[in-house]
Amino acid sequence: MKNIPLPPTSHQPKKYSGPSADEVLALRRQFMNPGIFLYYKKPLMVVEGSMQYVWDETGKRYLDGLGGIVTISVGHCHPHVIAAGNKQSELYQHSTTIYLHPNVAQYAEKLASKMPDDLKACYFVNSGSEANDLALLMARAYTQNYDLIALRNAYHGGNASGMGVTAHSTWKYNVPHSFGVHHALAPYQYRGVFGYDDADAGKKYAADVKEVIDFATPGKVAGFIAESIQGVGGFVEFPQGYLKQTYEYVRAAGGVCIADEVQTGFGRTGTHFWGFETQGVIPDIVTMAKGIGNGCPLAAVVTTHKIAQSLVGKIHFNTFGGNPVVSAMGKAVLEVIEKDNLQANSLKLGNHIHAGLAKLKEKHKIIGDVRGKGLMIGIEMVKDRATKAPASAECAMVLEKARELGLLIGKGGLWGQTIRFAPPMCITQADADFLLEVLDESFSTL
């Protein structure tokens, strides 16, 4: 096997002395839900992390190219974020929303300052699934309509309502919350009916939303929800003009527009702080999680004060959402993004990686499509570029080979055919070059 050295790091991991990976796997099989999936033929056990790197129990180091599934935004155990959490933990750990606490109010002010227009009312919850659930409730309460429109190839969470608006058979269970939900065509230019060569693809895909409103609903809808770039679906980027036209159709039908920024938010796209901004639109409700807390259980829904008023009529609170510790950590994440210019870093290194992947695409015919923005990059693998038959087994082989070489990446797409790369936004040029070299070697071994 070719040796590709990782870039040097000054961090010295502590010697691990706990149970072995096999022992942990046995415990997991005995005491945890068997539905929780694992990556890799031999499951990986990560026991330590520092910035863009993680270590397994043997002391082997990896570049985390998936960021804990797009969760670690500013780096594993970032000193500023950890210090903010520790400082608050030593003082006071828990306060529900029925009491005042300065951290949550100050964090709300900081987060609202990052939002455009009238998106200033923040609700803090614990996960992206919970955030999307609250957004759907808010849309129905505000509009007094019931029907919702989501996209095929979408993923919006593992709870019942989140699965209701998910249209991805790998994840979706047949849940009652699917009633009243209608799925429009995914604006997926690589595989869809309107491709990259169609300048009007955005408007044509949006026309399908209009058809859904006209023929599958009562003509009035509660809302439309979409990830700004589809995550689990394989980092699918929408054609320009799609969200703008779709939002017009939805609002004309009395609905509100929900942007799921769980994976795209906080500067990851490089060009903008929020994914929806790359489409030139302003949603009515925005949901966010994962990178918002850099690994701590924090998520949020941000909307206008007018829409937020729809929840005033009933008692509404959240036991853990926005508690003092996670609020301190969330605010610290925003401070790090600003101080370390991580949005600019995402743009610079994203462009560098895209250029390198373009060369790899010329070399390796199994690469069908390279897409995404900033440090949110999808590499779709196909057996044949003409038929676009998904190369699912080969994608899994690339993940295995990359792991052997010290790179952790993810996969997505309906058939598990797309490599997903979304590392902590603190990666360096040397890390980007390491990634490209590892992928080249991994593709070459197929």
Q: pLDDT tens for residues 23-62?
A: 999 999 999 999 888 999 999 999 999 999 999 999 999 9
Alpha carbon distances (Å) from 332 to 237, 292, 395: 29, 10, 36
Q: What is the pLDDT of residue 339?
A: 98
Reported as a single tens digit per residue, the pLDDT across 265-318 is 999 999 999 999 999 999 999 999 999 999 999 999 999 999 999 999 887 888
Find the mean pLDDT for residues 429-439: 98
Q: What is the pLDDT of residue 177?
A: 67
Query: Phi, psi at residue 229, to the nearest 5°?
Result: -135, 125
- Report d(CA 229, CA 237) in Å as an integer: 5
Q: What is the pLDDT of residue 372?
A: 97
Q: What is the pLDDT of residue 244?
A: 98
pLDDT band for position 203 (cuts 50, 70, 90): very high
- Report d(CA 276, CA 406) in Å as an integer: 33
Q: Is the dihedral of CA 74, 437, 46, 27 positive or negative?
A: positive
**Residue 262: closest CA among 286, 280, 284:** 286
Which residues, 6 or more positions from 196, have their beta carbon under 8 angstroms from its beta carbon? Answer: 189, 190
Reported as a single tens digit per residue, the pLDDT across 207-245 is 999 999 999 999 999 999 999 999 999 999 999 999 999
Q: Would you give the end-to-end CA distance of the chain in angstroms? A: 13
Q: What is the pLDDT of residue 167?
A: 81
Q: What is the CA radius of gyration of the chain?
A: 22
Query: Phi, psi at residue 55, to the nearest 5°?
Result: -125, 140
Kindly list the domain boundaries of the chain, sorted by start residue: 21-31+43-74+342-444, 81-339
Q: What is the pLDDT of residue 160?
A: 87
Architecture of domain 21-31+43-74+342-444: Alpha-Beta Complex (3.90)
- Report d(CA 117, CA 138) in Å as an integer: 19
Mean pLDDT of the chain: 96
Q: What is the pLDDT of residue 35?
A: 86
**CATH match of 81-339 with 3.40.640.10:** yes
Does 248 score more than 80 pLDDT? Answer: yes
Q: What is the pLDDT of residue 411?
A: 96
Does 322 score more than 90 pLDDT? Answer: no
**Global confidence as pTM:** 0.96
- If you write DSSP's letter for every residue of 260-318 in order, what string do you get? E-TTTTTTTTSS-SSGGGGGT---SEEEE-GGGTTTSS-EEEEE-HHHHGGGTTS----
Q: What is the pLDDT of residue 174?
A: 73
Reported as a single tens digit per residue, the pLDDT across 73-104 is 999 999 999 999 999 999 999 988 889 999 99
Reported as a single tens digit per residue, the pLDDT across 360-415 is 999 999 999 999 999 999 999 999 999 999 999 999 999 999 999 999 999 999 99
